[in-house]
């Protein structure tokens, strides 16, 4: 307990920047890289990707909670140093309910996805994405570094939103409140779609292992509407997170709370940070590690089959068809 308290005090001192913006962002980004290094180094030495996805989800969870409660910890530490009564300061530093709800949404997503991916790699024994990387330590280490970047960029708007003083977060005009509700609704829709797509794929694979069907690839349910409905759901939910976070960041009191004094530049900066999150997710899934890897694998396995070519031609790659 004493060691934990000492580490916390060191973290507070090291990240006690004069800029509120840096105080909001740097601890979370630093924690993301530290956690990935802590899991990545032994994994590279062991040539194992078993904990890659689980550590990514755990990092999302830990960094989100850190950003939510760090302002309150700073306030209590300041009160203790000044020998001031803490109850009022604790109340003022407590997160606003919108910050809590947004953080809870991200935390729920991270727990669900981490559990799903960890169970999958345990069942399969390996992850084909890492073929050719396990025996190349520098490249394998780069993947863990890239995951820290992924966490940092995706959580950027959340880190900023949680860095807004609670009083400023409460000063939300009606338009921003409506945008917040819309953002959470989009998140919920994307989250539900991703969960449903993953559940259908897991059920299909389980039935294949039990020899209850002999279909070589999944082309039913949501997978008959989109070739990658889980990826579409992932992009949608991060779009919802970005919209909800932006609704907390655009009002003038929030920007002043983050030290952004130039009205136009501040608004552009927070909107850019919010938009970067879903844009980065879409880039990774559509151009780097998601769709391209899967397309190459499936084309090599089933590209000679007429039914696969017909499914690929008639089914949108990303945006689900409605009819």
- Give the pLDDT confidence score for residue 91 in this predicted structure: 46
- Note down the domain range covering 296: 172-323
Q: Determine the pLDDT at residue 129.
A: 83
In a 3-state reduction of DSSP, which class is residue 147? Answer: helix
Instruction: Count up the domains in the chain and report the number.
Output: 2
Q: In terms of Cα–Cα distance, which of 247, 253, 193, 263 is closest to 222?
A: 193
pLDDT in tens, 256-266: 999 999 989 99
Q: Are residues 159 and 179 in the same domain?
A: no
Residues 162 and 176 placed together within one structural domain of the fold: no
174 pLDDT above the threshold of 50? yes
Does one domain contain both 79 and 134? Answer: yes
Q: Do 57 and 97 sit in the same domain of this protein?
A: yes
Residue among 202, 227, 193 nearest 298 (CA)? 227
Based on the fold, state whether residues 16 and 158 are members of the same structural domain.
yes
Question: In this prediction, what percent of the chain has a pLDDT beyond 90?
Answer: 77
Residues 95 and 40 in one domain: yes
Question: What are all long-range contacts of 281-287, with beta carbons under 8 Å and residues at least 24 apart?
Answer: 281/154, 281/234, 281/235, 281/238, 282/235, 284/150, 285/228, 285/231, 285/234, 285/235, 286/231, 286/318
Output the DSSP codes for 268-293.
HHHHHHHHHHHHHHHHIIIIISSHHH
Mean confidence (pLDDT) of the chain: 91
Collapsed DSSP state (helix, strand, coil) of residue 84: coil
Domain boundary among 147, 170, 193: 170
Task: Indicate if 161 and 176 belong to the same structural domain.
Answer: no
Domain match, 222 and 85 both: no
pLDDT of residue 72: 85
User: How far apart (Å, rounded) are the C-alpha atoms in residues 231 and 286?
Assistant: 9
- The reported pLDDT for the residue numbered 2 is 53
The whole-number average pLDDT for the span 249-262 is 94
pLDDT at 88: 47
* Final residue belonging to a domain, choices 111, 144, 170: 170
Residues 32 and 150 in one domain: yes
Both 135 and 259 in one domain: the answer is no
In a shared domain, residues 108 and 131: yes
Based on the domain organization, do 123 and 207 belong to the same domain? no
Residue ranges with strand state E in the chain: none
Read off the pLDDT band of 13 (50, 70, 90). confident
pLDDT, tens only, 135-159: 899 999 999 999 999 999 999 999 9
Of 120, 145, 170, at which residue does a domain stop?
170
């Amino acid at each position: 307990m004493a060691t934990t308290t000492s580490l916390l005090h060191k973290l507070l001192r090291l990240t006690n920047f004069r800029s509120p913006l840096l105080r909001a962002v740097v601890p979370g980004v630093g924690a993301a890289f530290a956690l990935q290094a802590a899991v990545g180094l032994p994994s590279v030495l062991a040539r194992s990707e078993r904990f890659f996805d689980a550590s990514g989800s755990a990092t999302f969870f830990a960094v989100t909670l850190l950003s939510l409660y760090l302002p309150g910890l700073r306030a209590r530490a300041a009160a203790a140093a000044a020998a001031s009564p803490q109850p009022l300061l604790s109340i003022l530093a407590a997160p606003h309910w919108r910050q809590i709800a947004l953080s809870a949404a991200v935390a729920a997503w991270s727990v669900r996805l981490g559990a799903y991916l960890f169970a999958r790699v345990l069942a399969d024994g390996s992850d084909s994405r890492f073929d050719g990387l396990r025996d190349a330590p520098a490249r394998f280490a780069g993947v863990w570094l890239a995951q820290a970047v992924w966490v940092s960029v995706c959580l950027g708007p959340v880190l900023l939103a949680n860095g807004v003083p609670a009083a400023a977060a409460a000063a939300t005009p009606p338009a921003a409140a409506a945008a917040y509700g819309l953002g959470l609704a989009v998140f919920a829709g994307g989250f539900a779609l991703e969960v449903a797509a993953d559940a259908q794929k897991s059920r299909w694979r389980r039935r294949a292992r039990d020899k209850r069907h002999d279909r070589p690839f999944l082309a039913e349910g949501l997978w008959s509407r989109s070739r990658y409905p889980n990826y579409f759901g992932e992009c949608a939910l991060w779009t919802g997170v970005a919209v909800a976070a932006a609704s907390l960041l655009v009002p003038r009191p929030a920007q002043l709370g983050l030290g952004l004094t130039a009205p136009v530049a501040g608004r552009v900066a927070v909107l850019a940070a919010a938009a970067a999150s879903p844009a980065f997710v879409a880039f990774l899934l559509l151009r780097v590690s998601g769709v391209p890897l899967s397309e190459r694998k499936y084309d090599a396995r089933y590209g000679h089959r007429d039914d696969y070519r017909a499914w690929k031609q008639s089914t949108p790659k990303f945006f689900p068809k409605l009819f």
